[in-house]
Amino acid sequence: MRLSSTPENTATVTNPVIPGFHPDPSVCRVGEDYYLACSSFEYFPGVPVFHSRDLVHWTQIGNALDRPGQLRLPLDSPSSGGIYAPTLRHHDGRFWLVVTNVSGDGNLLFTATDPAGPWSDPVRLPGVHGIDPDLAWDDDGNCWCTTAGVGQVRIDPHTGETFGPTRRLWSGSPGAKAPEAPHLYRIGDYWYLLIAEGGTERCHGVSIARGPTPTGPFEPCPANPILTHRGTDHPIQNTGHADLVQAPDDSWWMVLLGVRPGGGTPGWHVLGRETFLVPVSWTDGWPVVGELSPSLPAPSWPLRPAPALPDRDDFDLSELAPHWVSLRHRPPEACTTKEKAGWLTLHARGGSLDDTDVTFTGRRQQHTSCRVRALVDAADGRGGLAVRLDERHHCAIEVSAGEARVSARIGPLNTVVASRPVPTGPVVLRIEVAAVHTVHDARTGPDTVTLGIEEPDGTFGELASLDGKYLSTEVAGGFTGRVIGMFAGAGAVHFDWFAYEPVDR
> Where along the sequence are the contacts to ligand 6LW (CB under 6 A)?
23-24, 39, 84-85, 131-132, 180-181, 196, 200, 240-241, 257, 479
Spatial separation of the C-alpha atoms in residues 108 and 46, rounded to whole Å: 13
Spatial separation of the C-alpha atoms in residues 290 and 353, rounded to whole Å: 43
Is the CB of 12 or the CB of 103 nearer to ligand 6LW? 103
Least distance in angstroms from the C-beta of 275 to ligand 6LW: 12
Least distance in angstroms from the C-beta of 131 to ligand 6LW: 5
Q: Do residues 476 and 468 make contact, with C-beta atoms less than 8 angstroms apart?
A: no
Tell me, yes or no, if 139 is annotated catalytic.
no
Q: CA 283: distance to chain centroid? A: 32
Is the CB of 20 or the CB of 240 nearer to ligand 6LW? 240
Least distance in angstroms from the C-beta of 147 to ligand 6LW: 10
Spatial separation of the C-alpha atoms in residues 36 and 50, rounded to whole Å: 5
Number of Cβ atoms within 10 Å of the Cβ of 349: 14
Least distance in angstroms from the C-beta of 249 to ligand 6LW: 30
Spatial separation of the C-alpha atoms in residues 198 and 118, rounded to whole Å: 36
Which one-letter DSSP state was computed for residue 67? S
* Cα four-point dihedral sign 168, 169, 172, 174: positive
C-alpha distance from residue 325 to each of 41, 430, 450, 489 (Å): 11, 20, 23, 17
DSSP 116-133: TSPPPPPEE-TT--SSS-
Is the CB of 241 or the CB of 469 nearer to ligand 6LW? 241
Is the CB of 71 or the CB of 196 nearer to ligand 6LW? 196
Least distance in angstroms from the C-beta of 466 to ligand 6LW: 26
Spatial separation of the C-alpha atoms in residues 385 and 396, rounded to whole Å: 6
Residue type, 121: D
Helices (H), strands (E): how many in the chain?
Answer: 1, 39
Exposed (0-12), middle (13-18) or buried (19+): which is 340, by Cβ within 10 Å?
middle
Least distance in angstroms from the C-beta of 33 to ligand 6LW: 25
DSSP 428-444: EEEEEEEE--S--STT-
47: alpha, beta or left? (left if phi > 0; alpha if psi -120 to 50): left
Tell me, yes or no, if 339 is annotated catalytic.
no
Is the CB of 132 or the CB of 391 nearer to ligand 6LW? 132
Out of 54, 105, 134, 180, pick the active-site residue.
Answer: 180
Least distance in angstroms from the C-beta of 199 to ligand 6LW: 8
Spatial separation of the C-alpha atoms in residues 211 and 201, rounded to whole Å: 29
Is the CB of 200 or the CB of 368 nearer to ligand 6LW? 200
Is the CB of 23 or the CB of 149 nearer to ligand 6LW? 23
- Position with the least CB separation from ligand 6LW: 200
Residue type, 19: P
Residues with catalytic annotation? 24, 180
